[in-house]
Amino acid sequence: MVAPGKERKSNTMRIAIMGTGGTGGYFGSLLAQAGEEVICIARGAHLDAIRACGLTVQSGQWGDVTLHLEATDDPRTLRQVDLIFFCVKTYDTEAAAHHIRPLLGPDTMILSVQNGIDSPECLRRMVGPQAVIGAATYVSSVVASPGVISHRGGGRLIIGELAGGTSPRTAQLRQAFERARIATELHPNIWVALWEKFIAICGFSGVTTLLRLPIGPILACPESRTLYQRTLEEVEAVARATGISLSADVVERSVVRIPTVYGSMYYDLEAGRRMELEALHGTVVRLGQEVGIPVPMNFAIYAALKPYAAGTPTVSS
């Protein structure tokens, strides 16, 4: 990290991690270790711990590291940045988009690293159409405790211009990310990659959360495996009906086969936190209605989890 007030090298990027949780904290740590100037935007006990003790990332792949990075909950105290890693939960997109305005310069790039299929367009409406770059990531990383990120595997990024094609700035990002040991692919049609990720996470996260089981026992049971398979197939059908050209084996490639893992919504459910249900299965149900595709498995997941969407429901005596 470049110390405040010091001149930075010409090839160093100034990067704000908007939402320094599991995903943002993991990628931010790799970028900081590669020499980029990284600022953590976080809140609450997590922010307090980062300020007091640094950001610790525990990774079986890269080992453990603690980094003492600039951290704040108020972007108004910061100057403009070259890149914003936009990693907040989907239900915080609009508030966070307003929050980052002080960081935006004429050439600031915003990498939308979120679940859901609506987030990039929502972000574009809030900050303007030019800054936002689409991204799909495959990483298992969570906040284990305040200030501590547990990286459990993965870490690949797929990025691309929302209008399609490649550009000098996406090539620049790939070079920076690969210097930071982040495997990065430039995709000529990022919406295909975003929908592929959406298919995978709706099936995996929805079914593991609904059944409160990791994927191994779900795949081992014929009935629950069928539920999982049909959930994936429904999202695929919706994608194709909206005009997305997917490969013939997209569902097969979307099946998660690491037996001990859960989807991210499961951890929110267990902790009594708000879930990204609307951005996932709520969106599938809505789009299914719009394009005339039945989605009974996704509706069942949505309906069963809806009482928990805002956190553990209160039961009156």
Domain boundaries, the chain: 14-188, 193-308
Question: Residue 10: its pLDDT value, please?
Answer: 55
Is residue 87 a contact partner of residue 24, using CB atoms and an 8 Å limit? yes
Buried b (16+ CB within 10 A) or exposed e, 255-274: ebeeeebbbbbbbbbeeeeb
Q: What is the pLDDT of residues 181-236, one digit of tens each?
A: 999 999 999 999 999 999 999 999 999 999 999 999 999 999 999 999 999 999 99
Q: What is the pLDDT of residues 240-260, one digit of tens each?
A: 999 999 999 999 999 999 899
Task: Specify the fold of 193-308.
Answer: N-(1-d-carboxylethyl)-l-norvaline Dehydrogenase; domain 2 (1.10.1040)
Question: Residue 9: its pLDDT value, please?
Answer: 52
3-state SS class at 151: strand
Q: How far apart are CA 158 and CA 136, in angstroms?
A: 5
pLDDT at residue 7 is higher than 70? no
Q: What is the pLDDT of residues 27-50, one digit of tens each?
A: 999 999 999 999 999 999 999 999
Task: Specify the fold of 14-188.
Answer: Rossmann fold (3.40.50)
3-state SS class at 74: coil
Q: What is the pLDDT of residues 157-176, one digit of tens each?
A: 999 999 998 899 999 999 99
Question: Residue 166: its pLDDT value, please?
Answer: 86
From the list 246, 236, 229, 238, the residue with the least C-alpha distance to 286 is 238
Q: What's the pTM value of the predicted model, to 2 decimals?
A: 0.92
